[in-house]
């Protein structure tokens, strides 16, 4: 009877220990670091491919399924620091976890650099950013993280191409657009009173400036929100920006 009483008395302590252990494990797995919003970054594939050599990579062409803007990443971010990164070094990328999404990934989140493994970009994005996004239920594991970014890219409401085309800004080998026109189109479409971040690159052969990326800020409920003022674009106001067609990504004249 005495022995049984001792075991009963130990149970609450053991329960507390287990609860604390599980809580600590959950924190470690989620990579819970303080962050306030997402940056949803999307590439224009012809520009990225043109700029590949500048990043010491090789891109000889675009995969046939690629038809529009593709995902670069979904990045947990703080206002006071550029990005929250590498939240859990023990949570390794596992390609089998996203096998059901592979066709979508190859279309909407492809790795265009032929000198790297086809999973290279996904591995990098999960390790650097996905492990931090895991502190949010909607993106709390590898599958959910990639699924969420793919779903955002597939929705017209988040599609830069729709935003630009609504204001007459269409891919062309001969027509360039001002930074002001591009920002105005994006701001009006996404109903913002401050600019989004746009990234430009220079075509090495011709010296033409290309629109390469658009970054939008998303709340933790995945609504477009104001980009912090310290997030500057690298396209200068004087730039005349080209958006080359996917069907003719080099536009050599």
Hey, which residues are catalytic here?
A: 72, 125, 129
Long-range contacts (CB closer than 8 Å, 24 or more residues apart) made by 162-171: 162/189, 163/189, 163/190, 164/243, 169/243, 170/243, 171/46, 171/243, 171/244, 171/245, 171/246
Which residue's entry shows tokens 């993280």?
Answer: 145
Tokens describing residue 52: 């590949």
Distance CA 206, CA 194 (A): 32
Distance CA 53, CA 205 (A): 11
Q: Counting Cβ atoms within 10 Å, is residue 84 exposed (0-12), middle (13-18) or buried (19+)?
A: buried
First-to-final CA distance of the chain: 94
State whether residue 200 is helix, strand or coil. Answer: strand
Distance CA 124, CA 127 (A): 5
Q: Counting Cβ atoms within 10 Å, is residue 205 exposed (0-12), middle (13-18) or buried (19+)?
A: exposed
The answer to whether 43 and 1 are in contact (CB under 8 A) is: no
Q: What is the dihedral of CA 86, 88, 93, 96, to 10 degrees?
A: -140
């Amino acid at each position: 009877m005495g022995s049984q009483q001792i075991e009963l008395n130990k149970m609450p302590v053991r329960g507390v220990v287990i609860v604390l252990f599980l809580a600590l494990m959950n924190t470690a797995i989620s990579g819970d670091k303080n962050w306030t919003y997402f940056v949803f970054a999307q590439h224009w594939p012809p520009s990225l491919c043109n700029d590949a050599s500048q990043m010491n990579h090789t891109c000889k062409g675009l995969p046939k399924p690629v038809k529009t803007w593709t995902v670069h990443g979904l990045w947990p971010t703080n206002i006071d620091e550029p990005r929250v990164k590498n939240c859990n070094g023990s949570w390794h990328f596992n390609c089998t976890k996203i096998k059901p999404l592979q066709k979508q990934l190859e279309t909407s989140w492809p790795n265009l650099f032929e000198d790297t493994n086809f999973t290279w970009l996904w591995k990098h994005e999960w390790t650097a950013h996905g492990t931090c996004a895991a502190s949010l239920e909607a993106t709390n594991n590898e599958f959910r993280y990639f699924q969420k970014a793919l779903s955002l890219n597939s929705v017209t409401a988040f599609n830069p191409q729709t935003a630009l085309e609504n204001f007459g800004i269409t891919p062309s080998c001969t027509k360039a657009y001002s930074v002001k026109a591009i920002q105005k189109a994006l701001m009006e479409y996404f109903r913002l009173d401050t600019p989004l971040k746009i990234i430009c690159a220079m075509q090495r052969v011709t010296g033409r400036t290309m629109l390469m990326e658009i970054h939008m800020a998303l709340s933790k409920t995945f609504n477009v929100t104001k980009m912090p003022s310290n997030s500057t674009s690298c396209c200068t106001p004087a730039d005349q920006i080209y958006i080359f067609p996917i069907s003719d990504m080099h536009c050599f004249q």
